[in-house]
Structure 1
Amino acid sequence: MRTMGVEEELLVVDADGVPVPEGPEALAVAARRGDGEDVEQHDRADRGDADAAPETAHLAPELKAQQVELGTPVCETLAEVDAQLRHWRERADAAALAAGARIAALATSPVAVDPVTTAGERYGRLVDDFGQTARDVLTCGCHVHVSVADDEEGVAVLNRIRLWLPVLTAMTANSPYWQGQDTAYASFRSQVWQRWPSAGPTGPFADAADYHRLVDAMLQTGTVLDAGMVYFDARLSARWPTVEVRSADVALRVEDAVTLAGLVRGLVETAARDARDGGAVPEMRPEILRLAAWRAGRSGLSGDLVHPRTGRPVAAAAVLTDLLEHVRPALADAGDEERVSDGVAALLSRGTGADLQRRVRQDTGDLTAVVRAAVAATTEGDPRAAVGASS
């Protein structure tokens, strides 16, 4: 069975819902409690080594001081992913509380914020080199790692899953607000992220050597700082034998993150089987995939998506159902079919994190209430614990 791990970026917010630069203090608390990353790992990350997070579970810094990152250990089952995410969200929140704040699984801040860059040489270089793009960005994503045999299998997987990645953006959409305004997008994080020059979809690769040649050519342009800044929607890990899928918003609810992890593992296994069976790499130009990703960020699950097989607009619910059917044999073999099917049904019934945020705003007229609901949903699982709004 393929193993998996999940990394989540989380906002650190005050009682008024404003992101506050207490991430470093919260991480210092976590380190004293044995929950934070060690100094060597932090230094390696700041030097720009790709995938610098330790293999074990951790809390770690991010580009902005109003964020922290959590990472699960390597997991074999979705039940483990669920338990680990709940545990590390609780540990992150406890550390934030000690610093006078809370954590919120929001992919952008609903209220206006002035992002503060975390201290560190590499973070400073990002701001120096990329200017307003680096100064503005305060976004939180979710990255899912799934094990592969080697880089050859990993590239065969990347070639086949790339068509489905916009669907993952749609189902995790959790960022409708930016600087206090409704953006009219379900995932505005995905739009902001595209400002980085190395972000987005890729074309197919001939083999692992072809993939690595492209990465080397990108580095030789002098535009990206290092391999860690190769921000493809899905990429090979530079340090671990995994494929890393990076297209999702951080999910508001743990159960949606678990559904995402199950679908990603199902996609990886389905793609690897197809490659072993000699299946052809599906054709879709990266320009069309970029349009599909934009569409997913614009409407989430509430409108049409570009269907990965036809390139035509189809209702999002139908596309998500087709994704489930595409990976169903792999889900069944991993024992994930019931849990992921139920998770997809729940998403289609109650909507995404973006849908919840907008319902709370409509019910209360208050973006602070949106953040309170998100804080409750992040650790307690029930946004109604903070505000009387439909979940």
Structure 2
Amino acid sequence: MATPPLTIGVEEEFLLLDPGTGQNVPVADAVRAALPPEVSARSHAEFRHSMIEMVTPVCGDLPGLAHELTTARRAAAAAAEATGAMLVPIGATPVGEPKLGVTDNPRYRAIADYYGPIVDDPAVCGVHVHVGVPDRETAVRVGNHLRVWLPVIQAMTVNSPFHAGTDTGHASWRAMQLDRWPALGPAPWFASAADFDRTVALLVGSGMMLDEKLVLWHARPSATYPTIEVRVADVPLTVDDTVLLTALVRGLVATALDDLADGRDAPRVPGLAVEAAHWNAAHAGLDGTLTDLRENRPRPAWELVGDLVTTVRPALERHGDLPYTTDQLDRLRAEGTGARRQREAVRRAGSLPAALGRLARAMSA
């Protein structure tokens, strides 16, 4: 019998910005209240008053996922417009955030009290891809296999070059900003779920981590769903960008499951090397070299993208995702990453606020 497709689901975070100035506006509650009831149930309040998260149901294929993402984005964009704001799919606050307090959530207030001024960094927005796996033990072991490839995924999805109204020189300022937080980078290599739990307990006991729920590594067993959750990417500009990301992540998870079934363990790449690869990916995106963690050397970025696709090709074929993925990779190569497209939008519009308005309109078209 054919293996059933691995289930997928996505959480996308968006910024709410002033159409004139590009500054963050604290209208998340009003936007959620303006959503149609059938969509509102799939929206979440986030850490900042200028953010909203939209969540898809569990999906089995890419067309279904694309439909759910499009429906949620259009509804959220219309609700934002009704409040006088615009919904913008970018990874970091581009101009400024006048209201820095966290939303009225006891959990968020506890985090703010514990970590102090780190919490005063402006809002950042990511996308979290969930792929169904049999159990938590499997999720941990799959995460080991993802470590060498997630810098490539990050480089493909960089979408936050601007901060405080200027170009930072980094393709993902969100990644640079999040480096200040504990347990929010690449996951270590774990021998088992028990090893994972011992490490988390050590971090909590040291005081570095507030509690065991604050595990925010790039890949982790979901605390809520029977999935592995990959959370390395900036929120993408378009639905196609998000669906391409999901196809590749599902391909990597399926490939890791095949490796585990065949008794192939993941390489134990040193943590510092993985961190360096992610820093490089966040800085350069696809415009330069990336670190090949299998060979411990820099290589042209698109060569590594090609290796990634070759690695997951059997899984893409099995899920029926190969034609779409091939087409979207061609588009990505022609258009560039979200960071490159943002910079080009600013060049054409003549100012950052004007470019942000164009990006908002393009997203909901």
TM range, smaller chain: over 0.9
Query: Partners of 2:99 and 2:324 in 1: how far apart?
Result: 37
2:46 corresponds to 1:62: yes
Partner of 1:368: 353
Contact kept in structure 1, 2:154 and 2:232, CA below 8 Å:
yes
Moved more, 98-107 or 114-123: 114-123
Cα displacement (A) at 1:103: 0.6
Which residue of structure 1 lines up, in the alignment, with residue 37 of structure 2?
A: 33
Residue 157 of structure 2, aligned match among 172, 194, 203: 172
SS in 1 for 2:149: helix
Residue in structure 2 matched with residue 216 of structure 1 by the alignment: 201
Which ranges of structure 1 fall in alignment gaps of 5 or more residues?
Answer: 38-57, 381-391
Distance 1:261 1:364 in 2: 31
Corresponding residue for residue 90 of structure 1: 74
Instruction: Report the CA distance between 1:34 and its aligned residue.
Output: 4.1
Equivalent of 1:345, from 317, 326, 330?
330
Matches within 5 A, 1:1-391: 1-16=5-20, 17-30=22-35, 33-37=37-41, 58-116=42-100, 117-380=102-365
Contact between 2:157 and 2:236, CA under 8 Å: does it hold in 1?
yes
Paired residues of 2:161 and 2:173 also in contact (CA < 8 A):
yes
Scaled by the length of structure 2, the TM-score of the pair is 0.95
Summarize deviations over 1:11-69 as a string: whole Å, max 9, x none: 01122122200011111223x734324xxxxxxxxxxxxxxxxxxxx111110100000
Are the counterparts in 1 of residues 96 and 122 from structure 2 also a CA contact under 8 Å? no
Measure the CA separation in 1 of the matches of 2:230 and 2:60. Answer: 17
Q: Which moved more, 1:114-123 or 1:185-194?
A: 114-123
Partners in 1 of 2:52 and 2:246 — Cα distance?
Answer: 20
User: What amino acid does structure 1 have at the position aligned with 2:279?
Assistant: W
> Could you tell me how far 1:358 is from its partner in structure 2?
0.7
Between the aligned partners of 2:207 and 2:267, the Cα distance in structure 1 is 32
C-alpha deviation, 1:216, in angstroms:
2.4
CA distance in structure 1 between the partners assigned to 2:96 and 2:223 by the alignment:
36
Using the TM superposition, give the Cα deviation of residue 214 of structure 1 relative to its aligned residue in structure 2, in angstroms. Answer: 1.6
TM-fit CA distance, 1:375: 0.2
The one-letter code of the counterpart of 1:265 is R
If the length of structure 1 is used for normalisation, what is the TM-score? Answer: 0.89
Amino acid at match of 2:54: L
Q: Aligned partner of 1:218: which letter? A: L
Question: 2:92·2:122 contact (CA, 8 Å) conserved in 1?
Answer: no
**Counterpart residue identity of residue 125, structure 1:** A
CA shift for structure 1 position 239 = 2.5
SS in 2 for 1:197: coil
Give a deviation string over 1:233-257, Cα, whole Å, max 9, x none: 1000122210000100000011010
Task: Count how many residue pairs are aligned between Structure 1 and Structure 2.
Answer: 359
Q: Secondary structure at the match of 2:128?
A: strand
Structure 2: how far apart are the matches of 1:152 and 1:228? Answer: 17
Amino acid at match of 1:331: L
Q: Which runs of 5+ in 2 are unaligned?
A: none
* 3-state secondary structure, aligned to 1:228: coil
